[in-house]
Amino acid sequence: MEENRIAELQGAGNPPAPSFEGSLLLHTCCAPCSVACIDSLREEGIEPVSYWFNPNIHPFTEYRMRRNTLREYTASIGVKLLENDVYGLRAYLDAVGGNYEQKDRCPVCYHIRLDEAARFASENGFSAFSTTLLISPYQNHELLIAAGEAAEKKYGVEFLYRDFRPLFRQGQDRARELGLYMQKYCGCIFSEEERYQKRKKKHKEEA
Ligand code: SF4
């Protein structure tokens, strides 16, 4: 997303969130995105339990790096981390079903992760679930909400919505200060390819 859109989101004044009392399972895509989400929830008096489930991160070395970074970060700030530690390359590809374009695969990717977070939350006595994906201006926020609401309905557990996007830059800056591993692409092998395609295109234009 363009820098001006990020700036716009940073300046957006959100209405105060409705208060929440209960146990929250926070699906966590990566440590850097979790920094400001966790800080913000704690400011509200919510102590989230982080939940790792990201079969969309490829290749395995990248998956392991992001998972291990989250392990270290949550331990350092005293947040409980639960892991569904599945490197689900094949399951992810099967779910996407050959529809590799971003507009087709991202909704599926949101659905896989939020469906699982809601299932786990429901079966393990949490009052609600949410996701750190809600902080990213690079994700489709509306589709994320739709996926969260569908999972809420399916499992009968509240989807705690927060628009964390205004906190994105400060969270990333803090993550950098802390020396956390900062990934260069969203996660799937397609987003990794797109990163290089974009770079190639830029070099061509500059040549
Ligand atoms: S770009 Fe990101 S959100 Fe979209 S399918 Fe790939 S990993 Fe999932």
| 133 CA closest ligand 1 atom index | 3
Nearest in space to 20 (alpha carbons), one of 1, 48, 39: 48
What is the pLDDT at residue 16? Answer: 66
Phi, psi torsion values for 101, nearest 5 degrees: -65, 150
Dist CA 41 CA 35 (whole Å): 10
Return the best residue to mutate from 29, 58, 109 for the ligand 1 pocket (most ligand atoms within 8 A of CB): 109
Dist CA 138 CA 188 (whole Å): 14
188 lines ligand 1 (CB under 6 A): yes
* pLDDT per position as a tens digit, 25-57: 999 999 999 999 999 999 999 999 999 999 999
| 108 CA closest ligand 1 atom index | 5
131 lines ligand 1 (CB under 6 A): no
Domains of the chain, with CATH numbers? 2-10+21-206 (3.40.50.620)
Dist CA 122 CA 23 (whole Å): 11
Dist CA 158 CA 143 (whole Å): 17
HEC per residue, 71-104: HHHHHHHCCCEEECCCCCHHHHHHHHCCCCCHHH
pLDDT in tens, the chain (207 residues): 444 444 444 344 455 677 888 899 999 999 999 999 999 999 999 999 999 999 999 999 999 999 999 999 999 999 999 999 999 999 999 999 999 999 999 999 999 999 999 999 999 999 999 999 999 999 999 999 999 999 999 999 999 999 999 999 999 999 999 999 999 999 999 999 999 887 777 767 776
What is the pLDDT at residue 138? Answer: 96
Give the CB-side neighbour count of residue 69, counting CA atoms within 13 A: 22
109 lines ligand 1 (CB under 6 A): yes
pTM of the prediction? 0.90
Q: Is the dihedral of CA 20, 112, 89, 98 positive or negative?
A: negative
Average pLDDT over the chain, rounded to an integer: 91
